[in-house]
Amino acid sequence: MKHILIALAVLCTVIVGITAANAKEPADMAGIGTASCAEFAQDYYHNPAVAETAYTDWLLGFLTGANITASALNKPERNIGAWSIRDIKSNMRDYCNDHPLASYIEAAIELFKQLPVMPKADS
């Protein structure tokens, strides 16, 4: 429980810091996902559990939002549940290790493209 509270405190600090830094500037994106892969790697190096929790929580929200957008545009949704959380985390670490100058959101978009398309629901 103590680790969860510490992780939440760090996450809130990061989010508040990013929001405060960008509060006066218009932005089409916000949150920890705007960090570079190099920043993710640095955060992971300093505290793997906290970094992976914060970034993975953002990632799952992003993937869900991407599916909502796809559905609204009558595009195929992706099956987020097709991969284990362990595989998702591993994919993101691998992508960021190979592309340190990319943004974390670019890594998320690439992961989203790799997920299988959801089967159509029978009408």
Q: What is the pLDDT of residues 70-110, one digit of tens each?
A: 999 999 999 999 999 999 999 999 999 999 999 999 999 99
Residue 121 lies in a domain: no
Task: Determine contact, residues 112/66, Cβ cutoff 8 Å.
Answer: yes
Residue 119 lies in a domain: no
Instruction: Note the pLDDT tens digit of each residue in 15-27.
Output: 545 544 555 666 7
Domain count, the chain: 1
Q: Which amino acid is at 65?
A: G
pTM assigned to the model: 0.76
Distance CA 122, CA 92 (A): 33
Residue 63 pLDDT greater than 70, yes or no = yes
Instruction: Tell me whether residue 43 is in a domain.
Output: yes
Is 120 a domain residue? no
Q: What angle do CA 113, 117, 120 make, to 5 degrees?
A: 155
Confidence of residue 30 (pLDDT cuts 50, 70, 90): confident
Query: Does residue 44 lie in a domain region?
Result: yes
**To which residue do tokens 């994106």 refer?**
29
Per the domain annotation, does 63 fall within a domain?
A: yes
Q: Which domain holds residue 66?
A: 2-24+31-114
